[in-house]
Amino acid sequence: MPNLNVPILCNIKTDSSYFMEQQYCLDDYNGLFISSRQEALNFRHRMSEPGYFSDWHVAGDPTLIIIRSGILRIGLRDHSYRDFASGDMFIAQDKLSANTIFENNIHGHTAEVIGEQQLIAMHLKLSSI
């Protein structure tokens, strides 16, 4: 069976956010390869102008972000980043543990719209990954 890899922005093993890959198994339905159902809570449409920048923050609940147009750059504490463009997707799920207070020099990621094109995306809040 084929698999689909989806980037996950998380902080499961550390306080700092990082990317890992989540592999989803796809079942064959006569040439249509599809994953198991996943519960979703809601979805929102997003639009951000070029130059938009969000300082350090965490995503909280797992959110599948699908980029429809534009480029979204996710920056990490180690100064690395990943750019997501039209057709790309990732799941943001870095969050704080219970009773943890956000520390601006440890937790989270940044988000920035780069280039000259407006960002249009869809945020789909997942029950779990």
pLDDT, residue 118, reads 96
Instruction: Give pLDDT tens digits for 105-117.
Output: 888 999 999 999 9
- Domains contained in the chain, number: 1
* Residue 12: other Cβ atoms inside 10 A: 10
pLDDT, residue 129, reads 72
**Sheet strands side by side (includes 40-48):** 18-25, 3-10, 89-92, 63-69, 119-126, 40-48
What is the extent of the structural domain holding 107?
3-126
pLDDT, residue 1, reads 67
Closest CA to 89 of 53, 49, 35: 35
Instruction: Give pLDDT tens digits for 78-93.
Output: 999 999 999 999 999 9
Domain at 72, CATH number: 2.60.120.10
Q: Would you put residue 41 in left (φ > 0), alpha (ψ -120 to 50) or beta? A: alpha
Q: How many helices (H) and strands (E) does the chain have?
A: 0, 12
pLDDT, residue 112, reads 97
Bigger pLDDT: 101 or 49?
49
Instruction: Give pLDDT tens digits for 6-51.
Output: 999 999 888 899 999 999 999 998 889 999 988 899 999 999 999 9
pLDDT, residue 14, reads 85
* Residue 4: other Cβ atoms inside 10 A: 12
* Residue 11: other Cβ atoms inside 10 A: 21
